[in-house]
Amino acid sequence: MRFVSLTIDGRQVEVAEGTTVLEAARKLGIEIPTLCYDNDLSIAGACRLCIVEVEGNNKNLPASCALPVAEGMVVHTNSPKVREARKIILELLLANHPLDCLTCEANGRCKLQQYCYEYGVKESRFSGERRHFAIDDNHPFIERDLEKCILCGKCVRVCQEVQGVGAIDYSGRGFDTKVATFMDRSLADSPCVSCGQCIYMCPVGALTAKPSKGKGRDFEVTKVVTTCGYCGVGCQLALNVKDDKIVGVTNVPDSHNQGYLCVKGRFGYEFVDDPERLTTPLIKENGKFREASWEEALDLVAQKFNEIRAKYGPDALAGVSSARVTNEENYLFQKFFRAVIGTNNVDHCARL
Ligand code: FES
């Protein structure tokens, strides 16, 4: 592998050939603002916010996320020229973006809001026709507000490149460009698998997790990292907790699942506080359930097992285990059936 040496903001760095200027800057701990870039996605170069000044290039300010390093390159990431150009880019984005930050679900985590704050951009000097779209609210979990969309395309790329679903893509040209499903149907009528990665990727408030809407913004919740209990993959996720209630689930980027979740992990949390959730064992007597203690319930199960085994033999019993418990628990389960009950009738829900 060949290495290339360059200077960024007066500091020298050596990186592998093919590295982008953005990645080289990050290696030095220099933060360059980005809206359309993500480590896991292909490069789109759509937002242009990551522009930098390269000495010897008087023609333009290239996008650092798409600019490969070159030997001897001298880069300035925060020069007056770069900052001024970034301000104009932010103003151009604001020209077509509702300024309803106070009630926006993304308030506090919106990157457009963050950069406007950092660059002192309050409003846009570019006035004119604005795009108007109806909110797509038909999907059970995802609300789309295309008037807030900045066309960074991260939702499109994560759906295609990571999930392999391709439920959405760009449609239209120029001013009419928007992110749409095939034939511009509602997201609910698309191949969307409700994984919600698009919400996670969206740098603004164009995509909202409906079950979390109005229940707590990013700065109001405590994030509790835990393991998803729905299957044996054991994805890491962050429960967003407010007032002792789970109000949402967000990604844990540096986890073995790389932050990605399925529909169950991301949206299947409301059962936790469901008033109908079983919290104690129930025993059926005369066709009706009554509450019982764990001791009483387990004694009853043991008694029934013994009765059946004595009357019909151990092979009259069978056990089906679950992917929702740990490997150790599954090991103990099969051990119990083989060594204690005396049968090999053991199976697992993931195989059925
Ligand atoms: Fe480089 Fe958007 S982050 S163009």
The residue extents of the domains of the chain are: 3-78, 135-273, 295-348
CA of 93 to the centre of ligand 1 (A): 13
pLDDT value for 352: 60
pTM score over 0.95: no
Distance from C-alpha of 188 to C-alpha of 140, rounded to nearest angstrom:
7
In ligand 1, the atom with minimum distance to the C-alpha of 34 is 3
| Strand pairing report for 319-321 and 346-348 | parallel
> From the CB of 204, is ligand 1 less than 6 Å away?
no
Q: Per residue in 318-351, pLDDT tens?
A: 999 988 888 899 999 999 999 999 999 999 887 7
Distance from C-alpha of 8 to C-alpha of 129, rounded to nearest angstrom:
40
Distance from C-alpha of 19 to C-alpha of 86, rounded to nearest angstrom:
23
| Strand pairing report for 168-171 and 178-181 | antiparallel
Dihedral of alpha carbons 249, 242, 34, 6, sign: negative
Distance from C-alpha of 37 to C-alpha of 105, rounded to nearest angstrom:
22
CA of 299 to the centre of ligand 1 (A): 63
Lowest mean pLDDT among 123-132, 238-247, 290-299, 311-320: 123-132
What the block records as the tokens of 149 is 């969309």
CA of 289 to the centre of ligand 1 (A): 60
Question: In this structure, which CATH number among 3.10.20.740, 3.30.420.480, 3.40.50.300, 3.40.50.2300 belongs to the domain 3-78?
Answer: 3.10.20.740
Q: Per residue in 177-215, pLDDT tens?
A: 999 999 999 999 999 999 999 999 999 999 999 999 999
Instruction: Indicate the top mutation candidate among 39, 47, 154 to test ligand 1's pocket, ranked by most ligand atoms within 8 A of CB.
Output: 47
CA of 329 to the centre of ligand 1 (A): 47
Q: Per residue in 99-152, pLDDT tens?
A: 999 999 999 999 999 999 999 999 889 988 999 999 999 999 999 999 999 999
Q: Per residue in 213-244, pLDDT tens?
A: 999 999 999 999 999 988 878 899 999 999 99
Lowest mean pLDDT among 7-21, 229-243, 292-306: 229-243
Question: In this structure, which CATH number among 3.30.110.30, 3.40.50.2300, 3.30.70.20, 3.50.50.60 belongs to the domain 135-273?
Answer: 3.30.70.20
